[in-house]
Structures are given as C-alpha cells and as structure tokens.
Structure 1
Amino acid sequence: MKIDLSDLNAFLAVARAQGFRDGARASGVSASGLSEAVRRLEAQLGVRLLNRTTRSVVPTEAGKRLLARLNPALTEVEAALEEVNDFRNRPAGTLKLNVPVSAARLVLPSIVPRFLAAYPEIRVEVFTESSFVDMVAAGCDAGIRYDERLEQDMIAVPIGPRVQRFATAAAPTYLAQRGRPKHPSELLQHACLRLRFPSGAMPPWEYARDGEVVRVDGEGPLQVDVGGGLDLLIDAAIAGSGVVNLFEDWLRPHLQSGALEPILESWWQPFSGPFLYYPGRRLVPAPLRAFIDFIKAGSV
C-alpha cells in the first residue's frame, strides 16, 4: 500500500494539536486541507483514525497505535535532516579528486595537509590518472587540469602555481661527454629520455625564443609511462643515461643540488598553471565547497 507522506503529516499535525484549526496553525496547512488529507488516509487504510466532535478531535485506538509508531519514525527523520544540515553548516564527508600525477606531486602537497587540518571531518580521496577521463563518470567531485584540457561546461578555479615551465636537463657527466646543446634542434643528436601516454603518444618537446618555435621529437634509450615511471626517468637522467624534459618544479631539487644541469634554459616556455574544475551545479557538495573556499581565500 502506497501512502502519501503528506497525508501522514496531516494526521500527525491534527492528532498532536487535538484539533484541525490548531493543527492548521502549527503546520501551515489549511484546516480544510488537513481534513481532506485525514479522510483520504482513513479511506486508504480502511479504519477511522480520529474521532471528531464539535468540541474535540481524539485519536481512535487505531489512531493511537499509528501515532505511537510514527512518532519515533518521525524523530529519526528529523535527526537525519539535522545530519544533512550539519553537512551544510559544518563541512563533513568525502571529497573525491581526479588529478594528473603532476598535480598530485607538485600542487596538492602544499594544499591538502593544511586543508585536512582546517576541516578534520572531511576525508579526501585522490585518484591519479595518466589519461584524461570523464571526472563525473569516474564518480569524482572535482578534478585538476590545464586550461587547454578543460571542458566548456565546467567551472574552473585557479589552483597551485599560476605560471609553470618544462625544464630540460641532464647530468653534468653526460654533458661533459656529449656536449651542451646550443639550439633545441641539437637535441636530435642526444639520448632523449621520453614520456609515453597511455594512448602510446609521446608529446614532442617544445621550445620558443624570439618568435622561433621548435618542436623536438628525439629518440633515446628509455621510454616510461606518465605516472609511476617518472621517478625512473629522473634517476636515469641523474645516472647519465640521457636528457630529460619535465616540469621545472619536479626537477628543481636536482637542479639545485647539481645532480642535473639545465639545458637551453632561455628556450623554456612558460604556460598557465592548473585549474580545479567541477560541474556547474546549483548545489555544490559541502566538502567541495569548503575546498573551493579554501583555495579562493588564498590559503594555497
């Protein structure tokens, strides 16, 4: 039997107030509306729930039993609604982020620990992807991408460094043996350690200076998948296996230590930093709203 919940609420309002007029004032529904709802409920159940006189409205035995069972159930419903309100007023729950490996390594470490400290009741789940996936279909609340990969129907918020560069470097021992390139085209004569996307594509290395743009599709002894193979690529470069081209921030510790030496630095191209993106929905989940506000407040 399918009962309209509004009819049950009407019965509760009248039974508690012991009258249709008082029930109407308490519920905001007209007395005639409550009367019609109660009649409809009684007709569906096939029993009288309220004894009505000109002076009083009193639950029948059946009405008392129904009222006794509905009161604790209603209390549970109210508690559930209060819990939902807590999500709005006191952010809690799970935030799922879909991000490239570079963002997990270079952007999130300076943000997530402080965000978790500020919102201890929020749990963050980070899913790293080497390929570009449908963030919503993957069950995530938001993702991180660069502007050329952003979908038009998404809302984007800047996150992390606003300007980044790819850096080219090699071990000093390698350069001492093979020479230091003066022009990007000379990299074709060097051992280039390359990144490979899941599709099998290997993006060329791009350089620009004084209006000249050069794309180098070099070859070398090592190719690794974007993701878990990146550290191997750097280790191989430090060991003198060849030339590497990665995010400057990723190589910076090794450049500063001298384990790697920059190559063609005047040709490195700056590009826009990443964005947090999410669907343009009217109601943003509380954990995501807290994360967005944390970023916008300049906490990053």
Structure 2
Amino acid sequence: MSDLPLSDLDAFTAIARERSFRAAARKRGVSASSLSDSLRRLEERLGVRLLNRTTRSVTPTTAGERLLAQLAPALGEVAAALGALDNFRDRPAGTLRLNVPTIAARLFLPDIACRFLKLYPEIELEIVAEDTFIDVLAAGFDAGIRYDERIERDMIAVPIGPRRQRYVTAASPAYLQERGMPQHPRDLLEHSCIRHRFLSGIGLTWEFERGGETFAISPSGALTSNSIEIELAAAVAGLGIISSFQELLEPGLASGQLVAILDDWASEFSGPYLYYASRRHMPAALRAFVDFLKLERQRAPLG
C-alpha cells in the first residue's frame, strides 16, 4: 500500500474534514466529481469503505475516522515540507556554497560577502577557500570563483571583483644590494626566486610583457611554498625575489621593505569570475547573489 497516490489520500482528508464533496472541492479548487473519483479509487485499493455518503451528508466510517486521525498530521507535515521549498524557489533564503581560490578570499570576497548578507539576512553563505581547482558542482558547491583560463566549459560566468589585475615582482633592498637589480626577465634565471606551488602540485610560471613582447620563465630558488605569508616573509628577509598579485605586495612596497623589479614588464590580466551551471531552476540564494553582482557592477564598475 506504500504506492497509494498522495492526491487520493489528500482528497479523502479534505472530504472527511468538510463533511461535503462540494465544500471540499471549493477549498481545493477542483471539481466535486474529481474528488469523488479519488475517493472511489482509494476505497477500492484499500478494500474498505471510508465515508458514508447520502444526498444530505458525508460522515466517516469507523475505519475512516481512524485513518483521518493518523493521516491528517502526516499530510500536514508533507504540506509544510513542500511549503518550505518556497524559500529556495521564490525568496532569497537557504545556504549558498561557494568554492573560491584563496586569493579571492583574501583580496575582495569578504567585502562583497558582507554587503550581500546585509541585504539578504535569510541566506547563509558558506565559503571554502582552496587552490586545488576541483569540480565545484561534483563537490556539491553551488558556484565557484575562477580566473577565465580555469573556467570549465558549459558554464555561465559573471564578473566578480577587480576586472584588471597585475603581477608584480619585488625583492628586499638587502637582497638587491647583494645580488644586483635584474634588467630583463631573463636575468631572473640567475637569481634566487621564491616560488609558489598549489596543493595540486602545479607551480606558477612567471610571465612578463612589455610593448608586445612576452617572456615567461620557470623560476628556481631555495624556497617553494603554497603560503603567501611564508613567501612574503622570506622576500622581506632577503631570501630571494617574489612575484605575486600587486595587492599582496603593496604594503611591503609602500613601507620600503620591498623594492619593485622590472615594473615596466609587469603583466596584466583579466579579473576573476563567478561561474555556475546553466539550469532551469536556479536556487534562490544563487540567483540573488548573481543579481547582486550584476547590480553592483552597474552601479560602480570595478577597475
């Protein structure tokens, strides 16, 4: 009996409560004949009469009274569960799970997240920051943040954060005094460079550009890390040359702890994107976040 149609059980409950086919039909917005058909099917499947009906009245049988007493609370829970889905379909509510690179979590995502959550207090935002570049959908995330070269196919991409960024190369004054100032990117091959490697094992290639000329090297040096904090501390301590996002090096450059190298060769690249799968029924929390990003972009385009 586990395959009884829920609609037939709901029809029986409505008729038994209203004690009238017509009243139940009005409340359900259906015809009285359709409710009668549902009740007939249910009684045939169960092999027991549930309602006594005459031209004047409808009353539950003993079996019908017992079924109604047990069925009504269960159907109420089903209705509540289905009603709760409105939070995810119509209202911006629920949990939004994002997978983002650590650089996004450090440079711009906190400010964006705070402004978004103030507008939508019923949304819970879960951010996982890592540099493994996993399949975000397979891992159960609603969306991810990536730079364009890492955005998967068949995904929708929406700009988020700064639209242009720079990689800057720098070293401490003590290091440059001892080893000299590089004049061309190829000179870096003769220097000790502080390398960044992701947890996936992928190491960063240093890329440079000037006047249409490009140059790329795989740096070598005594230190390799996946932690920008370690890399920055090592550069300030004079261990070698560092190359990273300009925003990360700016405090050291401003304080004089670091000196820019090959600044006219600094490479620029396009900013990150929020990306997600194209789907007909987008979760309300994700839709709200996408609309929020688009609106912020219109109000104050990011450089």
Task: Answer whether TM exceeds 0.5 for this pair.
Answer: yes
The answer on 1:273 being equivalent to 2:271 is yes
* Corresponding residue for residue 215 of structure 1: 216
AA matched with 2:66: R
Report the alpha carbon displacement of residue 48 of structure 1 after superposing the two structures with TM.
Answer: 0.7
CA distance in 2, matches of 1:121, 1:4: 34
* Corresponding residue for residue 49 of structure 2: 48
AA matched with 1:269: S
AA matched with 1:48: R
Report the alpha carbon displacement of residue 192 of structure 1 after superposing the two structures with TM.
Answer: 0.8
Any residues of structure 2 matched to 1:117-128 within 5 Å, and which?
117-128=118-129
Report the alpha carbon displacement of residue 134 of structure 1 after superposing the two structures with TM.
Answer: 0.6
CA distance in 2, matches of 1:219, 1:137: 35
When structure 1 is superposed on structure 2, of 175-184 and 231-240 the one drifting more is: 175-184
Q: CA RMSD in A?
A: 2.0
* Corresponding residue for residue 58 of structure 2: 57
* Corresponding residue for residue 291 of structure 1: 289
Which blocks of at least 5 consecutive residues in structure 2 are unaligned? none
AA matched with 2:255: S
3-state SS in 2 of match to 1:207? strand
3-state SS in 2 of match to 1:296? helix
3-state SS in 2 of match to 1:277? strand
Kept in 1: contact 2:169–2:244 (CA 8 A) = yes
CA distance in 1, matches of 2:13, 2:219: 77
CA distance in 2, matches of 1:204, 1:281: 36
AA matched with 1:257: S
Instruction: Sort the Cα spacing of 1:224 and 1:45 in 2 relative to 1 into closer, same or farther, 3 A.
Output: same
Report the alpha carbon displacement of residue 148 of structure 1 after superposing the two structures with TM.
Answer: 1.3
Q: Deviations over 1:220-265 (max 9, x none)?
A: 111113xxx2210110001111100111111111111211111111
CA distance in 1, matches of 2:292, 2:280: 19
Counting aligned pairs with the same residue, the percent is 57
3-state SS in 1 of match to 2:202? coil
AA matched with 1:7: D
Report the alpha carbon displacement of residue 288 of structure 1 after superposing the two structures with TM.
Answer: 1.9
* Corresponding residue for residue 138 of structure 2: 137
CA distance in 1, matches of 2:114, 2:153: 30
AA matched with 1:261: V
When structure 1 is superposed on structure 2, of 20-29 and 208-217 the one drifting more is: 20-29
3-state SS in 2 of match to 1:186? helix
The answer on 1:6 being equivalent to 2:4 is no
* Corresponding residue for residue 109 of structure 1: 110
Report the alpha carbon displacement of residue 91 of structure 1 after superposing the two structures with TM.
Answer: 2.7
TM-score by length of structure 1 reads 0.91
Instruction: Sort the Cα spacing of 1:53 and 1:199 in 2 relative to 1 into closer, same or farther, 3 A.
Output: closer
Any residues of structure 2 matched to 1:89-238 within 5 Å, and which?
89-225=90-226, 229-238=227-236
Q: Deviations over 1:163-207 (max 9, x none)?
A: 011110111111122111121111111111111233433232111
Kept in 1: contact 2:95–2:125 (CA 8 A) = yes
Instruction: Sort the Cα spacing of 1:55 and 1:199 in 2 relative to 1 into closer, same or farther, 3 A.
Output: closer
CA distance in 2, matches of 1:39, 1:235: 79
